[in-house]
Structures are given as C-alpha cells and as structure tokens.
C-alpha cells in the first residue's frame, strides 16, 4: 500500500457554541471554493483527548483535548492556512506508542492532490471516491510531534479473498517492535462480531511510503467461545516474532509458520507471553496424559535462519484439557508470569522456576477486569471495584459512590500503576478525570464543565 503524507480535503462543518472563541472555521459547504485543505491534527503537547456529549439536542460526540499546560481546547484538523476545523464522525481513537496516534472514522476524508478541488454534497460533507471500496471504516496514523496524518489503505488478503481499499484497525492492543513496525488487528466494532481477527503489520520506516501486510490470521472457531476470559490471541515480541491462534508461530522474517508442538513436544494448543523487556517470547502448554499431565514453558530464540526452542520449566498438574485456553499475566514485583491452566502457576523469569499458587487469582483473567502494573481492578457493579494486589494477591473493595462519583469510563495505560477513569461528581455537577491506586485511593486530576465524558485517551 502506498500511504502518502496526507493532504486531507476536508469536511464541511458548522460548529455550535464556542467555535469562534476557539478559532474553529465554519466551512461554507455549498460551493467548494473556500473549502479548507486539511494537512494535520492539532494534537501536539496533548495530555488527554476526550469525547463529550453535546449540550445541544444533537446526539453527536464532540472531541476535545487537554494540553500539558492545562489548556482545554477543541480537537481539530489543521488546514494548510493554519486554521482548525472540527473533527467529525470519529468512531475510535487510540494512543499507539510514543510516536503515533490512531484515529478511526466512519468514512474517509477526501484525499486528493493539492491542485485538485475538493467536492462536497449539499450538506457540506465530503464526497467519497467511488472507485475505492469503503466497507469497514477508515484508519489514520497521526504523528504526535509533527501532527502529520497518514492514511491506512492498501491491497491485503482477508480470509480467502483480497481486499483493496480502506479498513479500520483496532489500536487497543497495538504492539510496536524494535524497528518501529506496528502490529494491529481489525476493529471488530466495525467489522462485526462474527469476523475472526487478522493481525496486520504496518511498516513505518519510510513515512512517505508506508506499507501494510497481512501478518497472522485466526482460523479456530474457538475464538468465538469462552468470551468471559481475557486471552491474548496475538502475542508479538520486540523482534517481531508472533504467536497466534493458540498454536502457530511466525518469525519476523519470511513467511514460514511453525506449530507449538515443534517446541513443546506433544502439545497442540497453548499460550504465549513475553519477558518484561519484550525481547523474549515464551510458550506454555499442557502435555502428557490425563493421569500424568504437566505444564511446560519453552523459550524461543531466532538465529536469523529460523526459530529454536528450549524447554526451561515443567511442573506436574492435576488438570488435563489440551484444547482449553491458557491465560498469562506478568507480575513486575516478582519478575514472574502468572499462568492460568486449570490452576494458577507462577513462572519466575530469573531462575526459571515454576510453582503452583494457592490464591484464587481468577479476577486477573476476567473480561471485566483492568490490570495495571500493581493490581487488577474487577468491576462487579456500576461503581464498585474489587482490587487484587500483585504484591501479595490480597483483595479489597472500593465503592466510588462513597467518593461522590458516578463511574463512567475505565481505562489503563501501559506501564502505569494507576487505574484511570472518568466520571461525574455529584457535589459540583462536574465531569472529572482521575486515578485509583492499588490501595483504593482516588485522586482527581482534571475537572471539566461538560455533561458526560463518553471516551478518554491519555497521551504518552
């Protein structure tokens, strides 16, 4: 795919209140003669991006941002003249890594060369290029320093068919390797719940010619079951080696595919996890027979010509179900990985010991849990959270209603010890952004005069 440094021809947008004060252009959307040419997104020095419900009768979401100096302002496209035009039709925003943000929209912003005239419909919205298929939304990478925008569009294989056009990616679990390549799967919210995910690799070394590649694909029907469990279907280390679909491994170079049984003898299914620095990829699986089963951990290495595996730990188990999902979670306090495989086990990465844990840690792997570097927060009711510490596996409960806060959104940040949230504070009828630590202490970092925060993204 050929992705150009965008010159975006943009949307015709009429702002409601406060647009004049914030320098948001009102586009005269009928004639196209004064249509702004959009070249970037004004996210430099942003600390948060948040979506809020409009104060008008419209149900649309307005996206704003809080700069590092505390300034609260609109999120908008930048025109070639330096003006700002409000962002519309966003479906998702993710902070991918220190360099890029990912923005998904329902339809593409019109892409043309500078000398071409953008075309608009009677309502002032950009007309689509009918020669390009648009079935599954659109994704844009945004350079957070230069504010430049790059479209994601290309010729890729999806299942048994090739697809040529735009598509939306899921940035919630984006992975970046040591070369800056980004790995993301398709966005299920737009593609549909019955679509099996595909992992795409975006080659970012040349921003003037970014390329996208279909990297790994889920084939197992088991993907649609056990939805109450939190399981990583794609695991990628910093070298670009990928474990996927519970059984396959793909090296960073070439297209050769290995199976887990080539590294853990007798195993067909298992799980993958990475070391704390993300350099090493480990596999774990249950092998043996029903009355003589064992859990094994193997470490993979890539010598440039192919993958090699070494079994580094093994423990007898009382559980035998080789097709069952195995879940893993890194514990920074012990430099270990917690493994759920019928029982809970701990693999120490310093000495490669593998021991059984007697504590009930199921909360770590529930779908409604949010794990930081210090604890897992399980939301069991609207405002109540159970907190399971990674230090000693102790449990406590916090009720945000007692803090006068109606909890609205919860999110985590990679490498952060805090659970981040947005909510509504009853005492002053303000929306708030805050954090919760492993001891249940609540701290408010931002107070905003908006009705409801619908989504929030903290920028690295």
Could you tell me which of 293, 290, 249, 247 has the C-alpha nearest to residue 271? 247
Residue 134: the pLDDT is 57
101-115, 215-229, 416-430: which is most confident: 416-430
- What is d(CA 382, CA 149) in angstroms, rounded to the nearest whole number? 38
pLDDT at 26 over 50: no
The tens digit of pLDDT for each residue in 51-82 reads 887 555 445 678 899 999 999 998 998 888 88
Least confident of 9-18, 318-327, 356-365: 9-18
User: CA torsion 335→339→344→345, rounded to 10°?
Assistant: -50
The tens digit of pLDDT for each residue in 272-323 reads 999 989 999 999 999 877 778 899 999 999 877 789 999 999 999 987 776 6
Global pTM reads 0.83
Least confident of 220-224, 246-250, 404-408: 220-224
Could you tell me which of 274, 291, 292 has the C-alpha nearest to residue 283? 274
More confident residue, 83 or 162: 83
User: Taken in order 239, 170, 132, 38, is the CA torsion positive or negative?
Assistant: negative
Residue 131: the pLDDT is 42
More confident residue, 356 or 59: 356
pLDDT at 27 over 50: no
Domain ranges of the chain: 1-222, 229-365, 369-458
Average model confidence (pLDDT) for the chain? 81
The tens digit of pLDDT for each residue in 323-348 reads 678 999 999 999 999 999 989 999 99
Adjacent-strand bridge partners of 74: 64
């Amino acid at each position: 795919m050929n992705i150009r440094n965008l010159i975006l021809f943009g949307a015709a947008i009429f702002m409601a209140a406060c647009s004049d004060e914030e320098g948001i252009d009102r586009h005269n959307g009928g004639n196209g003669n004064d249509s702004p040419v959009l070249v970037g997104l004004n996210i430099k020095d942003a600390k948060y991006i948040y979506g809020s419900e409009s104060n008008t009768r419209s149900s649309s979401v307005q996206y704003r941002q809080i700069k590092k100096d505390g300034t609260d302002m609109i999120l908008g496209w930048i025109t070639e003249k330096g003006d700002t035009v409000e962002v519309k039709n966003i479906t998702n925003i993710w902070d991918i890594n220190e360099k890029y943000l990912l923005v998904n929209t329902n339809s593409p912003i019109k892409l043309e060369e500078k000398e071409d005239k953008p075309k608009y419909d009677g309502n002032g919205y950009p007309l689509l290029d009918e020669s390009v298929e648009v079935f599954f939304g659109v994704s844009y990478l945004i350079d957070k320093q230069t504010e430049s925008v790059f479209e994601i569009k290309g010729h890729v294989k999806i299942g048994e068919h090739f697809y040529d056009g735009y598509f939306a990616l899921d940035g919630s679990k984006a992975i970046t390797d040591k070369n800056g390549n980004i790995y993301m799967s398709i966005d299920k919210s737009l593609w549909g719940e019955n679509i099996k995910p595909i992992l795409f690799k975006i080659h970012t070394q040349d921003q003037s010619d970014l390329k996208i590649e279909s990297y790994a694909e889920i084939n197992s029907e088991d993907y649609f079951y056990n939805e109450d469990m939190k399981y990583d279907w794609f695991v990628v280390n910093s070298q670009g080696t990928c474990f996927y679909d519970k059984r396959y491994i793909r090296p960073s170079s070439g297209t050769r595919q290995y199976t887990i049984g080539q590294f853990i003898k007798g195993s067909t299914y298992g799980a993958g996890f990475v070391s704390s620095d993300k350099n090493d990829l480990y596999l774990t699986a249950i092998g043996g027979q029903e009355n003589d089963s064992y859990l094994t951990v193997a470490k993979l290495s890539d010598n440039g010509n192919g993958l090699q595996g070494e079994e580094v730990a093994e423990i007898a188990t009382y559980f035998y179900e080789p097709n069952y999902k195995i879940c893993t979670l890194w514990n920074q306090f012990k430099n270990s990985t917690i493994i759920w495989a019928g029982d809970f086990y701990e693999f120490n990465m310093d000495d490669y010991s593998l021991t059984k844990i007697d504590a009930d840690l199921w909360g770590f792997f529930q779908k409604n849990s949010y794990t930081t570097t210090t604890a897992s927060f399980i939301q069991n009711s609207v405002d109540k959270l159970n907190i399971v510490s990674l230090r000693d596996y102790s449990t406590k409960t916090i009720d945000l209603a007692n803090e006068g806060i109606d909890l609205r959104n919860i999110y985590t940040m990679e490498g952060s010890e805090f659970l981040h949230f947005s909510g509504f504070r009853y005492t002053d009828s303000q929306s708030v952004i805050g954090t919760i630590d492993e001891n249940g202490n609540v701290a408010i970092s931002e107070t905003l005069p908006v009705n409801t925060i619908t989504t929030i993204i903290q920028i690295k």
